[in-house]
């Protein structure tokens, strides 16, 4: 099992991000931590990634990179602004992949886990294959990964109107209360 995070652009990490990563190590000291960046991810894998990278919209690059890493390696993906309180491996209890609801209708993309080769993760990754990334003036103009993920989960049987734990083939989606017992997404908004 590994923890996966993305760090593109080569900037130094803030103290808040360093503290978040330290919380992962405290709660799961025996887990490998894998940074996905330009050295181990193909920023030319599709037009969307190329254009997001050229626009220096690192979070949109990471939207694809996280799915690629989960599909190819398996593990638990964390945004760098996630503070962890408990061992996230417990969320694999009885499932091959998990995420949770962060707010009504939308899943949390900041924390998700999967065994390698998961079909739903592949569907999410494939969504980007024929898409382009166009820089916008305001963050709210973007189609975010939570919107994309919500649509794909619905196609796989998740009821987006039920804000409770749900199990569908290939993934478990936890309610917000359960997710909050394990982690807190600080939502630093570095993607806007």
For 18-28, what is each residue's pLDDT tens digit?
999 999 999 99
What mean pLDDT is predicted for residues 181-192?
79
User: CA 152 to CA 19: how far, in whole Å?
Assistant: 33
What mean pLDDT is predicted for residues 38-56?
96
Residue 98 lies in a domain: yes
What mean pLDDT is predicted for residues 29-33?
97
- State both tokens at 182: 């394990």
Secondary structure of the chain: what % helix, strand, coil (to 5)? 40, 20, 40
Number of domains in the chain: 1
For residue 136, the model assigns a pLDDT of 62
> Structural domain of residue 55, as residue ranges?
2-185
Q: Quick count: other Cβ atoms within 10 Å of Cβ 146? A: 18
Residue percentage of the chain with pLDDT more than 70:
93
Residue 105 lies in a domain: yes
Q: What's the whole-model pTM score?
A: 0.93
Query: Which of 42-46, 102-106, 153-157 holds the top average pLDDT?
Result: 42-46
Q: What angle, 0 to 180 degrees and rounded to 10, lies between the N-to-C axes of helices 119-127 and 145-155?
A: 130
Residue 37 lies in a domain: yes
For residue 188, the model assigns a pLDDT of 83
We report the CATH number of the domain holding residue 9 as: 3.90.550.20
- State both tokens at 126: 């494939």
Residue 190 lies in a domain: no
For 52-105, what is each residue's pLDDT tens digit?
999 999 999 999 999 999 999 999 999 999 999 999 999 999 899 999 988 777
């Amino acid at each position: 099992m590994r923890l996966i995070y993305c760090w593109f652009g080569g900037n130094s990490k803030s103290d808040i991000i360093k503290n978040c990563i330290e919380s992962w190590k405290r709660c799961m000291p025996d887990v490998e931590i894998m940074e996905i960046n330009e050295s181990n991810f193909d920023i030319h894998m599709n037009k969307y990634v190329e254009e997001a990278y050229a626009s220096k919209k690192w979070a949109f690059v990471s939207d694809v990179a996280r799915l690629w890493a989960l599909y190819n390696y398996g593990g638990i993906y964390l945004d760098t602004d996630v503070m962890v309180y408990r061992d996230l491996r417990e969320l694999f209890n009885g499932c091959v992949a998990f995420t949770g609801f962060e707010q009504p209708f939308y899943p949390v993309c900041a924390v998700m886990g999967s065994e390698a080769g998961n079909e739903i993760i592949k569907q999410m990754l494939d969504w980007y294959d024929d898409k382009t990334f166009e820089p916008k003036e305001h963050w709210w103009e973007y189609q975010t990964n939570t919107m994309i993920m919500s649509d794909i989960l619905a196609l796989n049987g998740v009821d987006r109107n039920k804000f409770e734990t749900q199990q569908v083939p290939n993934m478990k989606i936890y309610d917000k209360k359960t997710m909050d017992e394990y982690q807190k997404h600080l939502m630093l908004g570095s993607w806007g």
